[in-house]
Amino acid sequence: MKNDERKCRVCGCTQNNACPGGCYWVEEDLCSQCAVCEICGHTGKDYDIFKCDGCGKLACDDCGEHFDNSGSFFCKECLAKMTKYDCNKCRNQGTDDCPEDGEYQYCYDCPEYQMTDINKYIEEVHQNAKDHGWWDEPRSMAELLCLIHSEVSEALEEVRDHNEPTKTYYSGKYVVKMEDGSKNFEIISYRSFTPGKAFMKPATGVDVTIDINKPEGIPSELADIVIRVFDICGYYEIDLEAAIKEKMEYNKTRQFKHGGKKI
């Protein structure tokens, strides 16, 4: 009797004898653990991989989006081409994709499409800067832009120090209480440490306390860049949300790798 049970063409697993840890069918004769993303090269052992319903390419979840409400999966190349759909949220015709469950981006005309957190953060960031005295005197736009440059330079120094893009570490001011006869005094300096982990105490001294936990690293410097931008927008009352939406719409119309520059 002919055995019609599905079998992976790579590892030989079957419907009733799956790979260790489990797998699913990506193609008729290919399991998820043996699949490879045709866009970035990620393997199915580390990433969820699906077959694009648009072009048929195999793509990982980093290179596409899986819409649970419809069961469809599209790679980013196909998603970029699918720019006009009827909005299911506000019923506008021919707008950007606007799934009814609201998990993904609404159309730009939809009342519920929003980035309101950006303007809220702008207000909070600028108020904090004022509370700390940074706007007691007028500041020029040139000065403010130079401060953004300084944060970019600090991020570059983190790269030059071989720190990973996702790594955050902390600098702590530690206070060492020393004993020298009848005299007690403090030495204040800085060292890098990870909160919650032990760090080496100085050879002498009776007590060490951490005074602050300052985030350091590329993520922190990128955050500083955004905070500087938000502070400027708060002072000049720039509607950054509207500017971002407008520029995003324009960028969608630009040619592939527009400008032809090497970098």
Claim to verify: residue 74 and residue 183 sit in the same structural domain:
no
Query: Across residues 72-92, what is the average pLDDT?
Result: 62
Residue 235: what pLDDT?
95
Claim to verify: residue 140 and residue 224 sit in the same structural domain:
yes
Query: Across residues 199-212, what is the average pLDDT?
Result: 50
Residue 4 — very low, low, confident or very high, per pLDDT cuts 50/70/90? confident
Is residue 149 domain-resident? yes
Claim to verify: residue 44 and residue 145 sit in the same structural domain:
no
Residue 216: what pLDDT?
85
Mean predicted lDDT score pLDDT of the chain: 76
Is residue 19 domain-resident? no
Is residue 8 domain-resident? no
pLDDT tens track for 225-243: 999 999 999 999 998 988 8
Claim to verify: residue 29 and residue 69 sit in the same structural domain:
yes
Is residue 3 domain-resident? no
Counting the structural domains of the chain, the total is 4
Claim to verify: residue 122 and residue 233 sit in the same structural domain:
yes
Claim to verify: residue 188 and residue 224 sit in the same structural domain:
no
Residue 68: what pLDDT?
61
- Residue 84: is its pLDDT beyond 60? no
Claim to verify: residue 75 and residue 53 sit in the same structural domain:
yes
Residue 96: what pLDDT?
45
pTM over 0.85: no
- For residue 189, the enclosing domain spans 169-216
Claim to verify: residue 31 and residue 72 sit in the same structural domain:
yes
Claim to verify: residue 87 and residue 124 sit in the same structural domain:
no
Residue 199 — very low, low, confident or very high, per pLDDT cuts 50/70/90? very low
217: its two tokens: 């690293």
Is residue 175 domain-resident? yes
